[in-house]
Amino acid sequence: MSELRDLDLGEVIAATESALSNASGMPVKLQDAKVLSDEQRRNLIVRAQAGYGDGRMLSVIVKATRSPAYDPKAEDALATSGIIREWVATAYLAARAPMAGHGSTLLAGVVPSGILIFEDLGPDLPSLVKTLLEGNADEAERAVASYALALARLHADTVGCLDAHQETLDSIFGSGRGRRPRTWQVEKQADYVVQRIGGSPPTQELAQISHRLNNPGAWLALIHGDPCPDNALLVAEKVRLIDYEFARPSHALLDASYWRIGFPSCWCAGRVPPEVASRVEAVYRAEVGKTIPLALDEEAYRAELAFITVSWLFASLEWLLDKALDEDKKWGIASIRSRLLWYLEFVAELTRAAGILPGITATAEAWRADLQNRWPDTKTLGLYPAFVATAKQSC
């Protein structure tokens, strides 16, 4: 990818050694550096052994942005740079909940170059992907429950984080930027879809969704933003979340709807059986409910989850619909068309069960029927392989 800048490995190593030396107050030298990323990745990823002046050895992961647009002084730096979002999120977590295990420990960084250095969680760790694709149903359910617990603890530990998150940004990259919260406009996303396949979701209902996203209230927390199975590493049977490049203060259920809707931003998309999803959801709600009591209110939770899941539908349609209308490309392990058919089906079921957004329910059903007629050979997104045998046995 020619738009990515080339990085000199020697320069990255030298900058990393200097950053770790400054952070620890003693000389640090890197050994056995191994590049883990390929040339098409937006970041250079390196594993190395850090030798400290007191004789300690520590395995570290170095992450350096290859974006030519990286500018830590930019007014919109947080909105436009994944490495800056990850830096702010992980630095905030290190200060807010240093012993909670919300990912790899941030050791140091180099602002001018866009370099982050993390403690290495360990080589060859399995991710949630492996369990979902190769494990059995019991193993997969335990792993997804651990994943949900990790998200719940992330959200519970960071409720109401807006001011602290901004303070962390200012402390690393300098103050003077006005707060630039992300503004959701589901209405524009819906209009994009309507122009392509017709239909007419009620404007008032769309406005309700935008309002909830822009005003999370009790649900405001630091969200991971891209909690895909390959960003969930299994460490001693517990999930550690990595890659916080989409992390930001927002509505917690944007993360917590992932296993329900089928991991919408992920190459490894798939469905979890509804009865498993319900048990996993109970794990999430019990933990996050310690800090967000609304999570324990059945009716309130169902409605809130439905509102936020609808937002994933419109985001996904805006992102993928043109590609799907052109041809049925496969993305990762599932086709784009199969994903969209499932999102539409699931949103209609969820909003009807919650007793909200009747206009959007009807629109989602009409859109699904239209697209299924256009794509008669396309089946909806399937269950993960770990759950397929169990599903067949129960039929």
Q: Write down the domain spans for the chain.
A: 9-119, 128-394
pLDDT in tens, 65-89: 999 999 999 999 999 999 999 999 9
391: Cβ–Cβ under 8 A, 6 or more apart, which residues?
273, 383
- The sheet carrying 57-65 orders its strands as 28-35, 43-52, 57-65, 115-119, 106-110
pLDDT reported for residue 325: 97
335 three-state secondary structure = strand
Positions in the chain short of pLDDT 50: 1, 394-395
Can you name the CATH fold of 128-394? Aminoglycoside 3'-phosphotransferase; Chain: A, domain 2 (3.90.1200)
278-296 pLDDT tens trace:
999 999 999 999 999 999 9
Nearest to 303 by CA among 227, 218, 209, 217: 209
Q: Cβ contacts of residue 205 below 8 Å, gap of 6+? A: 357, 359, 360
Could you give phi then psi for residue 128, rounded to 5 degrees?
A: -60, -25
Tens-digit pLDDT profile for residues 293-328: 999 999 999 999 999 999 999 999 999 999 999 999
- Whole-model pTM: value is 0.94
What CATH number is given for 9-119 in this structure?
A: 3.30.200.20
pLDDT tens digits for range 353-371: 999 999 999 999 999 999 9
CA dihedral 310→283→147→315, nearest 10 degrees, is 0
Give the list of residues 6+ apart from residue 366 with CB closer than 8 angstroms, or none.
199
Nearest to 309 by CA among 369, 379, 356: 356
Give the pair of three-digit tokens for residue 237.
């049977």
Q: Locate tokens 């429950």: which residue?
A: 145
